[in-house]
Structures are given as structure tokens and as C-alpha cells.
Amino acid sequence: MSKLITNSPEFVSKLLRSSKMPAFTLYGSRGSTNTDRVRLTLAEGGFTDFEFVPVNLQRGEQKVGKPFLLEDDAAIPRVSKFIIADAAALSPKKT
């Protein structure tokens, strides 16, 4: 096994890439100007190696312990790709 790995640099780099953790986790909110300040900085720096965890401010997720502390990872969605709504998306749904 070790022979296979050492003889195959491609395999090693693939393994390293797939097991690599993101550099950090950014907790933010859709429609938050403060969150966007940080996202704009990362965009300008061309930095994409991070995980974004949306926190729902309207549900008070930032205030209560459980979801925000991630004791239960399923409690809040984790996304690797940004799904950020703009201002209008926050308005009450027209039914």
C-alpha cells in the first residue's frame, strides 16, 4: 500500500486534496451588511478555501446555544457554495 502511494504522486495529491479541511468557517447571514463586508474582502483576495455557514438572524440562531454551537450539525444547513439572497429575497413571500 505504501509503495502504491509513494509511487503515485498523483494519488497522493488527490488524497491530500480530498481530505483537506477548509481553512476556516465563516458564520454569517443573508442580507447582513457586516457579513458582506467580509465576503467582499475574501472575493477581492480571491480566497475560496473556506466554509460558509448561514445563520438565520430572524430565527435568533445567533442568540441561542444549540444550533449556533453546532452541537447538532444537522440543525443548520452547511453549504460550500454561497447561496446568498439579496435584499428583495428577504421580503415576506408573496402568496
3-state secondary structure of 23: coil
State yes or no: residue 76 binds another protein (CB under 8 A).
no
Rounded to 10 degrees, what is the CA torsion of 61, 65, 66, 70?
90
From the CB of 22, what's the least distance to another protein, in Å? 9
**Residue number, 75 or 89, with CB nearest to another protein:** 89
Per-position x/- string for 31-70, each x denoting binding to another protein as judged by CB under 8 A, each - no binding: -xxxxxxxxxxxxxxxx-------x-xx---xxxx--xx-
Per rule CB under 8 A, is residue 91 in the interface with another protein? yes
Interface with another protein includes 75 (CB under 8 A)? no
Closest CA to 18 of 30, 10, 26, 6: 10
Count CA atoms closer than 13 A to 62's CA, side-chain side: 12
